[in-house]
Chain A
Amino acid sequence: MTAIQDDPEMVSYLAKKLGAEDLTIRDVWQNTEGWSMETFSLALEYSKGGARIEQEIILRRQPVSGLLEPYDVSTEYRVLAALQETGVAIPETYWYEPDPAVFERPFYAMEKVVGEVHFLTQETDPDYRLIPDDEERASLADDFLSNLVRIHACDWQSLGLDFLGDPGPGKGSALGQTEYWEAVIDRGGFRKKPLVTLAVNWLRENAPENDTVRLVHGDYRTGNYICKEKRIRAILDWEMVHLGDPHEDLVYVLGQLWRSPPPTEWVSHLLPEEEFLRSYEELSGITVEPEKLQYCQVLNDLKGIGIMTTATNAFVKNKTPDLRPGIFGTLLDMAYAGLAQHLDGGLKA
């Protein structure tokens, strides 16, 4: 990855943005944990105000194609910038660059938060612990809950986040998301799958009311935060952020893919489901409604299929040389199985 490092225009651009002199890019590497937005770490060295500074920054670039297209990296930037003073653990944002001439596609720059990201693997060993230290796990669980509550509690209107699209009261949150993911699946060419049709119609028929619209992260789980010294330092991956029903995030957190293996089955490898939901209610003042959880589970399954079919379509249409989106086509059968199971619970015999 020497292209950026040796590019005098990029060096000059970064120096100007940072108000720096004599800037060198000492190292560049592309993170591989994320499968969607392109994330580059840059190690910089420059002079400013008479001091020699070493700094690592992140450039988060819009990909050509992938799991969540069409992409608009500015949405993530604007949300992170708006949340800077809310107490949600997030990186400091520096600037957004819409000009594709600078780095091929739009990107934004932010602080590199130093720490660890827990990468999830599928384990069956009942003694497996993603976070072996119980004290650390308990501390992370507290931070995990408090950050989620802060996201749901934020006053999105005064923060200027209404650009995300207010679904309005009543059934707007549920129907808006159903319509959104139906359109995504349609674009990927999978709308005429009978299971998708059954799910979309069930979601339309059973849409619950939600009169208090909240900011919804959309991808909230272990694996999407950076931690250090037993604390969560930054919540990442805001690509699916939107306004809607907070139960969406709760169901996402409860997902099987990020639970510890039986018998513990801790949600996000952190804490038991009952404890998570009870603590969330206490901290947020929001009552968790089981019917809404059931509804959002089916919606969440549809969303999973939307992501997988978008990735599959990008792979089939040769939109990217990256083979990873193709792997999502192999996961569709698993996603269909989950949706069928949850939909069966929702349909009356």
Chain B
Amino acid sequence: MKDTPLATIVDRINQTLENVIAPEIESTIVRGQLFAVVELLNQLQGKYEYRHDLMAQDIQVGRQMLATLIEAFEKAGVETPEAVSTLTREVDLSGMSGDQLREVRNGVEGAVSHALDLLHANRSRIDQAEQVEKAVLGQLGQNILRDMMLFRPQRFDKISQRAQEE
């Protein structure tokens, strides 16, 4: 969910409200209410973002995973690529916008992914490579659990029940 900027989600919602739903509404009052929703959402643009603490946690856990992987590489004498090691450096996240945080997080995730591929390619040289992967999965699991706690119940039946109602 956090991979899509909220501004993009709102843009898509507004496009569908204006171009798909509004033309189908016959009542001018209801159509007016719909455009009020579009206007409200539009005015929120640029004034909200995902929670910074969640993005910062993602980055922090990503760095922990990198540390775990680099330690395994060093023990096995596998050289850590610079593209991976540079991402372990601390960066001041406090003044960053949501988009900037997302960029940092994507960079760290990309580096972890790169390091995991390197681990896989060198698994015959790295002692207990699978245990290292399990440790990384454990670190990743903290944030996966957190995101699951934020998940709200689905209402797919409301979206797809037209045929049954007719």
Contact = CB atoms under 8 A, between A and B. Distances in A.
Interface of A: 31-33, 35, 117, 119, 121-122, 189-198, 201-202, 204-205, 312, 315-316, 318, 321-324, 326-327, 329-334, 336-337, 340, 343-344, 347-349
B144 A315 contact: no
B150 interface: yes
B161 interface: yes
A198 B116 contact: yes
Contact of A32 (B134, B138, B141, B160): B160
A185 B34 CA distance: 35
A333 B1 contact: yes
Given A316-B4, A332-B1, A198 B136 contact: yes
A197 B113 contact: yes
A58 to B, nearest CB: 13
Nearest to B153: A122
Contacts of B162: 31-32
Contacts of A334: 148, 151
A198 B12 contact: no
Contacts of B62: 194
B28 to A, nearest CB: 22
B161 to A, nearest CB: 6
A349 B134 contact: yes
B156 interface: yes
Contacts of B113: 191-194, 196-197
A315 B134 contact: no
Contact of A329 (B4, B123, B130): B4
A331 B147 CA distance: 10
A190 B1 CA distance: 12
A195 B144 contact: yes
Contacts of A322: 16
B12 A329 contact: no
A31 B163 contact: yes
Contacts of A337: 144-145, 147-148
Contacts of A192: 106, 109-110, 113-114
A330 B117 CA distance: 27
B38 to A, nearest CB: 14
Contacts of A332: 1, 3
26 contacts: A31-B163, A33-B163, A35-B160, A119-B160, A190-B3, A192-B109, A197-B112, A198-B137, A201-B119, A201-B120, A205-B120, A315-B4, A322-B16, A326-B9, A327-B156, A327-B159, A330-B1, A331-B154, A334-B148, A337-B144, A340-B140, A340-B144, A343-B137, A344-B138, A347-B133, A348-B130
Contacts of A198: 116, 133, 136-137, 140
Nearest to B108: A194
Judged by DSSP, the binding face of A is helix
A323 B12 contact: yes
Contacts of B153: 122
Given A194-B140, A322-B16, A340-B140, 14 more contacts: A31-B162, A33-B160, A119-B157, A119-B164, A197-B116, A201-B116, A321-B15, A321-B16, A327-B159, A333-B150, A337-B145, A347-B134, A349-B131, A349-B134
A329 B137 CA distance: 22
B3 A329 contact: yes
Given A323-B13, A329-B3, A333-B147, A344 B163 contact: no
Contacts of B144: 195, 333, 336-337, 340
A329 B19 contact: no
A344 B145 CA distance: 14
B109 A344 contact: no
Given A194-B136, A201-B117, A347-B133, A312 B145 contact: no
Given A201-B117, A205-B120, A315-B12, A195 B147 contact: no
Q: Which of A190, A191, A204, A321 has the most chain B CB atoms closer than 10 A to its own CB?
A: A321
B153 to A, nearest CB: 7
Contacts of A119: 157, 160-161, 164
Contacts of A189: 3
B147 A336 contact: yes
Interface string B13-39: 101100110000000000000000000
A255 B67 CA distance: 35
A28 B54 CA distance: 47
B163 to A, nearest CB: 6
B87 interface: no
Contacts of A324: 159
